[in-house]
A and B are shown apart, each in its own frame.
Chain A
Amino acid sequence: MKALVIVGHGSHLNEDSSLPVYEHAERIRQTGEYDEVVECFWKEEPSMRHVLDMVESDDVYVVPAFISEGYFTQQVIPRELGLAGPITHKGDKTIRYAGPLGTYEGMADVILERTDDLMRGKETSGRTALVLLGHGTDLNKNSSGVIYWNAGRIRERGVYDLVEVGFLDQEPEIGEVVTSVEAENVILIPVFIAEGWHTRETIPEDLGLSGEVTEREDRTIFYGAPVGPHPSMAALISARAREMEEKFVHGAR
């Protein structure tokens, strides 16, 4: 039997935090690809500490529902799940631990799908810039790296006149980017895993956004939903696990 375990951050205060994980798990469950699809969290139950006892399968794939490689994917998750590396044997179970989602091939496609959802039926004229918004932090370079990396991938496709990045907690600061980017249309997509305080309150407030579409004197700002809850992320999670399977099970040992 084969199980997929999706690890989310979760929250003690915000019920929306874990929602994308549950929704993606249900989508993957419906595909029938796994005998079991189980969710676990850092801040919610079931905790990572206990989830493996709830899994009946011997072949277990663990995919972190996190955007970037960093503190959680490298320290917290392996420690709490008791993982030794990409492959861990525990009793009869073989646990394969996949990387985070933001650095995966298909991420750029999900971002573009999110953009299409936002722009569907909206007329624009003039130059259009796509701005990817990341959390960013001084502590961890990977957190911004993954945003730059995806921006690069999308830039290569030449769909938008400009593809820029902006952050909440580091340079370039998002408000600055949105104001100064040379385009009449600015599409802003938060590369976050879930809706929350930032996407709903601090970002619209700090940028003076009045909803999905905000008209400024010299530009129109289109503000999209975060990428994480997009239904296509479910396929990305499965693909992440499948990659582990191909690499370690079907590939050369």
Chain B
Amino acid sequence: MSTAPVKRTSIPNVAAESRAAFAAWVDAHPDGRHFGQVLIRPESSGGYRLCHAEDEGATGLQLYENPRAAREIAKLTGDGEYRPLKSAPNLRRGWALLAADAGDLVTAMNGLYPSAVVHWYLYREGSLDITNYRENAARQSGIYKRVQRLTDQGVQNAAKACCEDAVCLKKTLWDVDEEIPLEMNRGEGEIPCPEPCSVFVSFARRVRLFERENKRDLDAIGLSPSEKEDLSALVEAAATGEVVMAREAEFEKPLNERRMRYRRLTLIPKLRPPVANE
């Protein structure tokens, strides 16, 4: 790598290339393109109109013209909950955003789905760098260092619980490592996921804590303390007639959706062992 300050301004970089490619991809479809939960339609004026895909044709949408408003739109769910993962399928409805040109379009997209446009572009070009779980985990330090010890099966279950389209619309491209592919359904969306995200790493840490507990603390019928805690919390909540779920990345709380998805994979087989002979 040269350290001389050579300016190669004639060669655009990936950020600039992805902006042009994304705009061209949208322009090629006058009826609009779907990206995540967003519908993007090229306007005859040369600009773009964005809205929630389910608001196609809806009237009375709140109109925004500043592309940076996209980040505010993406911040909270329709119920006012904070969205730590912008690719979760809980983008709120009721808005439309006008982007004046390709630059504003990408600014808006980066507010709705940060770094998705450049990853979309690199993936199409075949040059998106993929970082597998083990490589990502090796980098972790501090309270996340323990994710290095998560078993292969733990990674598989964590990915199924945390990354499938029901909870994240990105297409999961990374694997456990070079030899062990993920078994999950990777998803059909346009947005590639090249590396475990920070929400996943935090979830992986929680799953690792479950794994550790399994080894030494099982009771007579094979349940771990945290499994019993989750079952109790579930029964107590359901008995009130209303199960209030924990927030999206609140993995320490029993009634977290991803935590429950993990329990479905690991606890249900214990509670309802598969019947032999089919």
Interface set of A (CB-CB < 8 Å, partner B): 11-15, 22, 26, 42-47, 49-51, 53-56, 58, 71, 75-76, 79-80, 89, 91-94
Query: By the criterion CB–CB under 8 Å, are A46 and B114 in contact?
Result: yes
Query: By the criterion CB–CB under 8 Å, are B115 and A47 in contact?
Result: yes
Query: Does B25 reach chain A (CB closer than 8 Å)?
Result: no
Chain A residues lying within 8 Å of B12, measured Cβ to Cβ, are: 56
Give Cα A71–Cα B142 distance, bound, in whole angstroms. Answer: 9
Which 7 residue pairs spanning A and B have beta carbons closest together? A12-B249, A45-B114, A46-B114, A12-B84, A50-B115, A56-B15, A15-B82
Chain A residues lying within 8 Å of B171, measured Cβ to Cβ, are: none
Q: List 6 A-B contacts (CB under 8 A).
A: A13-B84, A45-B86, A47-B198, A50-B115, A53-B119, A93-B13
Query: Does B235 reach chain A (CB closer than 8 Å)?
Result: no
Question: Which of A22, A44, A45, A54 gathers the greatest number of chain B CB atoms within 10 Å?
Answer: A45
Query: Does B275 reach chain A (CB closer than 8 Å)?
Result: no
Chain A residues lying within 8 Å of B76, measured Cβ to Cβ, are: 15
Chain A residues lying within 8 Å of B13, measured Cβ to Cβ, are: 56, 58, 91-93
Chain A residues lying within 8 Å of B202, measured Cβ to Cβ, are: 12, 43
Give Cα A46–Cα B107 distance, bound, in whole angstroms. Answer: 12
Chain A residues lying within 8 Å of B199, measured Cβ to Cβ, are: 12
Query: Does B216 reach chain A (CB closer than 8 Å)?
Result: no
Query: By the criterion CB–CB under 8 Å, are B141 and A76 in contact?
Result: yes
Give Cα A91–Cα B198 distance, bound, in whole angstroms. Answer: 26
Query: By the criterion CB–CB under 8 Å, are B250 and A53 in contact?
Result: no
Query: Does B7 reach chain A (CB closer than 8 Å)?
Result: yes
Query: Does B5 reach chain A (CB closer than 8 Å)?
Result: yes
Q: Which residue of B lies closest to A89 (CB)?
A: B3
Query: By the criterion CB–CB under 8 Å, are A75 and B82 in contact?
Result: no
Report the contact-size class of chain B (Cβ under 8 Å from the partner): 35 or more
Query: By the criterion CB–CB under 8 Å, are B247 and A15 in contact?
Result: no
Q: Which residue of B lies closest to A48 (CB)?
A: B198
User: Could you say which of B84, B115, B131, B139 contacts A53, with CB atoms under 8 Å apart?
Assistant: B115
Query: By the criterion CB–CB under 8 Å, are A50 and B118 in contact?
Result: yes
User: Could you say which of A47, A54, A58, A89 contacts B118, with CB atoms under 8 Å apart?
Assistant: A54
| Given A56-B13, A71-B142, A94-B5, A22:B119 Cβ within 8 A | no
Give Cα A71–Cα B140 distance, bound, in whole angstroms. Answer: 12
Q: Which residue of A lies closest to B75 (CB)?
A: A15
Type the 1/0 row for B220-255, where 1 means its CB is closer than 8 Å to any CB of A: 000000000000000000000000000111100000
Q: A12-B248, A91-B13 are in contact. List 14 more A-B contacts (CB 8 A).
A: A12-B202, A12-B249, A44-B198, A45-B85, A45-B115, A46-B115, A47-B198, A50-B114, A50-B118, A54-B15, A56-B16, A79-B139, A92-B8, A93-B13
Question: Which of A14, A46, A79 gathers the greatest number of chain B CB atoms within 10 Å?
Answer: A46
